[in-house]
Amino acid sequence: MKKISRIFAAAAAAALLCTGCGDKPSDTASTNEVYTPDENLNAPGEFPVCKKEVTIKVGIPKDPLVTDYETNLYTKAIEEKMNCNVEFSYLPASVEEAKQKVELMISAGGGDLPDVIVNVPLSDSTISRYASKGFIRKLNDYYEKSSYYLKDILEKEPELEKMITMTDGNIYVIPRYQKIMQNELGYRMWIYEPWLEKLGLETPKTIDDFYNVLKAFKEKDPNGNGIADEVPFLGATNGGESWFRDFITAAYIPIDPQSKYLYPDNGTIKAAYMEPEYKEAIKYLNKLCSEGLLSPSSFTADGAQARQTVQNPNGVQVGCFTTMAPTYLSGADDRKDGYKILPPLAKADGTGYAVYAASIPVNAFFITKNCQNPEAAFRMGDIMMSEEMTIHSRFGQKGTDWLEPAEGEKSMFDAMGYEAKIKPVLTWGAPQNSHWQNGAPGYRSYEISFSTVDSGTNIFETEIANKLQFYIDKMPKEYITKLIYTEEEMDTVNEIQQNVEAYLKDSLTRFIIGDMDIESGWDGYLEELKAIGVDEMLKISQDAYNRMK
């Protein structure tokens, strides 16, 4: 495959460029420089994979919702296709604890490492560091000469190859790559439509419209109780990120929380929070706050506290809020029917964006130095990437856990041209023994993500499907998918980014609530960001972006 063959040239060049940089490979490093086919394997695409049965020891976090990995239907399907015995080595269910366990095993020399580690998403720089010391195997030759499903996927998704190739030109992982547009455009605003109807208001399209709607919500008693108790706009803090702030600022400038608010502008990486348009957005939010249109609790309340406000027992109190889905309201609460998605807002000239974060691959599968049948292990990961096993990993066994749609049944995204392919039967989030709780490599295309049957029972999912096109239409033309840094770059970027995030959280809040004047304080704000090291971070990110391109 031409694309994959270029990896070898890149690897050689990177090796010359990086000589003397970082950790030196150990004497036990597995380089796979000379590819020797495993004679026990049939040709790619022929099943079973192994002529004689082999055992592959898989390290995996033990998800409490999977009742028995040994007898799990997904496990049995893999074993049948492979002609192998999967032996499990369980890791802690917590992602962070699982990472720590793997790192402890490596620190102890790696003697206890299983053949394969699945669903422990180590960072790119960590993967590269462990690979350079010989603990993780390079997979270039297998991708080139032994892949079947992966070869087809990389032809369809050329960006994926870039996102799994490390800075040394090598590939060490098999990814879980799930393209889910609903999540990419997950920062959504929900507005209580009955209030609009009662007050004779149109759905707001611009930030000026939105301001006028909020003023009406505050002043015209839309809940009709004779008390000025309405909360026009409610936000909440979510792990340091303010969804309400991001939704509004996206009307002015591209916003990508996943990239830490970096974005490309004609190929130049910029930090949104340093641009004049962002300043205008913060001034707008300050106006909302100063006039009592944005609740002050938005800066201190978490999701649980915001939920309590939305669930006010005395009736509807909140006009607008931002979440991926309005799970603040229970299924028995009739108010949920009234909250509808507000399309992304724009400035008066019609320009504006949806908050967008591209789907990126997770480092879901890597092969350790202890694996005696590495090509067979690779083929197992390759099978997991097939459409059949990707669907199985999420929805369970065909014919029992999910069904093919009956004639006339449509997908939730039928209006966007996506056909129904999957009718779920197995309840997600309940104990089961049909799959690994989506904890394996896989490739979910938009055709699969958009293909579930519209049951008509989840009004929020239907509303998201009906309004998603409005968000797609406002996607930025340029965006960052994934930036892959060297270990040294990653250390520098992480340190700067931690300080930036702490400073932004404090400064932006003070600007919005009026504790600090944005006109007199903006220059000092920019100077402090530069002192923290934003310019250096932008340069490093630009270099990484250029490498990806």
Architecture of domain 2-181+361-394: 3-Layer(aba) Sandwich (3.40)
Summarize pLDDT for 490-526 with one digit per residue, the tens.
999 999 999 999 999 999 999 999 999 999 999 999 9
* Residue among 300, 271, 275, 296 at smallest CA distance from 285: 296
Type of residue numbered 528: E
Buried/exposed code over 449-473 (b: 16+ C-beta within 10 A; e: otherwise):
bbbbbbeeeeebbebbbebbeebee
* Rounded CA separation 176/159 (Å): 14
Average confidence (pLDDT) over 400-429:
94
* pLDDT confidence of residue 33: 59
2-181+361-394 and 188-355+480-548 in the same fold: yes
* pLDDT confidence of residue 308: 87
Phi, psi at 273, each rounded to 5°:
-70, 0
Q: At what angle do helices 73-82 and 387-395 cross, to 10 degrees?
A: 160
pTM of this structure: 0.89
* pLDDT confidence of residue 335: 82
pLDDT grade for 272, boundaries at 50, 70 and 90: very high
* Rounded CA separation 391/86 (Å): 20
* pLDDT confidence of residue 460: 79
* pLDDT confidence of residue 242: 83
pLDDT grade for 200, boundaries at 50, 70 and 90: very high
Average confidence (pLDDT) over 167-186:
96
* pLDDT confidence of residue 16: 32
| % residues pLDDT > 90 (the chain) | 82
Summarize pLDDT for 323-366 with one digit per residue, the tens.
887 677 766 677 888 999 999 999 999 999 999 999 999 999 99
Which letter does DSSP use for residue 115 in this model? S
**Which tokens is 110 given?**
């790696």
Residue 9 has pLDDT above 70, yes or no: no
Summarize pLDDT for 451-482 with one digit per residue, the tens.
999 987 777 788 899 999 999 999 999 999 99
Average confidence (pLDDT) over 45-74:
98
Q: ∠ CA 158-497-301 to the nearest 5 degrees?
A: 105
Residue 27 has pLDDT above 90, yes or no: no
Q: Which residues pair with 327 in a beta bridge?
A: none
Average confidence (pLDDT) over 385-403:
98
Summarize pLDDT for 395-411 with one digit per residue, the tens.
999 999 999 999 999 99
pLDDT grade for 44, boundaries at 50, 70 and 90: very high
pLDDT grade for 137, boundaries at 50, 70 and 90: very high
Are the C-beta atoms of residues 138 and 32 closer than 8 Å to each other?
A: yes
Q: Where are the domains of the chain?
A: 2-181+361-394, 188-355+480-548
Q: Which residues pair with 86 in a beta bridge?
A: 56
Range in 52-61, 168-177, 459-468, 522-531 with the lowest mean pLDDT: 459-468
* pLDDT confidence of residue 324: 85
**Which tokens is 387 given?**
């459409």
462 vs 75, higher pLDDT: 75
* Rounded CA separation 72/70 (Å): 6
DSSP per-residue letters across 368-427: BTT-S-HHHHHHHHHHHTSHHHHHHHHH-SBTTTEEPPPTT--BTTGGGTPPP-BEE-SP
**Which tokens is 430 given?**
């309940």
Q: Which CATH superfamily is domain 188-355+480-548 in?
A: Periplasmic binding protein-like II (3.40.190.10)
Residue 5 has pLDDT above 60, yes or no: no
Residue with tokens 């936000």: 235
Are the C-beta atoms of residues 250 and 351 closer than 8 Å to each other?
A: no
pLDDT grade for 26, boundaries at 50, 70 and 90: very low
Are the C-beta atoms of residues 432 and 67 closer than 8 Å to each other?
A: yes
* pLDDT confidence of residue 241: 58
Are the C-beta atoms of residues 511 and 523 closer than 8 Å to each other?
A: no
207 vs 301, higher pLDDT: 207
* pLDDT confidence of residue 461: 83
The mean predicted confidence, pLDDT, of the chain is: 91
